[in-house]
Amino acid sequence: MNSGCTVWFTGLSGSGKSTLSKVLAQRLREAGARVEVLDGDVVRTRLCKDLGFTHGDREENIRRIGFVCELLSRNGVIAIVAAISPYRTSRDEVRSRIENFVEVYMRCPMEVLIQRDVKGLYKKALAGEIPLFTGISDVYEPPLKPEVTIDSSTDTPGEGLAKILDALELRGLLQRKAVPLADSATGLRTGEWVHGQSQLPPR
């Protein structure tokens, strides 16, 4: 069985995609998985530097990232994408090409995003200084049936991570290690994970 997959974060700017993708990547590497994070910024430098933010360019951006994910996933790698990826049809096109596709919708109310505004982008967008800003002056189409929905205004990063790990376990892409129950005296941890059947330790 191929235990590669694509974990595709989608959501508005500031919804926590990058942060949680890094936490997830770290956790999956600890579980023995090969992991690549395709961050929006890196991709735009190495793969899509010709592309802007028009509808066509955003579609093409997703298509190229999707192609890379397809190659990685079918070779046993867990590809994690953290990109706004605003269009449902583009995401579904990628989904149709990838055997194990886990869409993670980072939901967050607009008022919370505007209040947080870590990068100061919403302020600029609301002032009309950024054209085609997703959620303000450009469309965002939330997924209809994502594998995981995380509300970053109420879920902690730990809760978000747990939801994703559960989704991967449900699909047989991750297994819980059989370890002794937690014991405060020995410090043993429960809930450790291993990636892929081939990664299981010998019995």
Applying CB under 8 A, which residues contact a copy of itself? 34, 36, 46-47, 50, 60, 63-64, 67-68, 71-72, 75-77
Residue 49 or residue 145: which is nearer to a copy of itself going by CB? 49
Q: Which of 15, 73, 85, 90 is catalytic?
A: 85
Q: Look at strands 174-176 and 193-195 and give their pairing.
A: antiparallel
d(CA 130, CA 107) in angstroms, rounded, equals 22
70: its two tokens: 């397809």
Q: Determine whether 85 is an active site residue.
A: yes
Nearest Cα to Cα of residue 172 among 1, 28, 26: 1
Residue 77 or residue 174: which is nearer to a copy of itself going by CB? 77
CB 125 within 8 A of CB 97: no
CB 89 within 8 A of CB 21: no
Residue 72 or residue 104: which is nearer to a copy of itself going by CB? 72
* Catalytic positions: 85
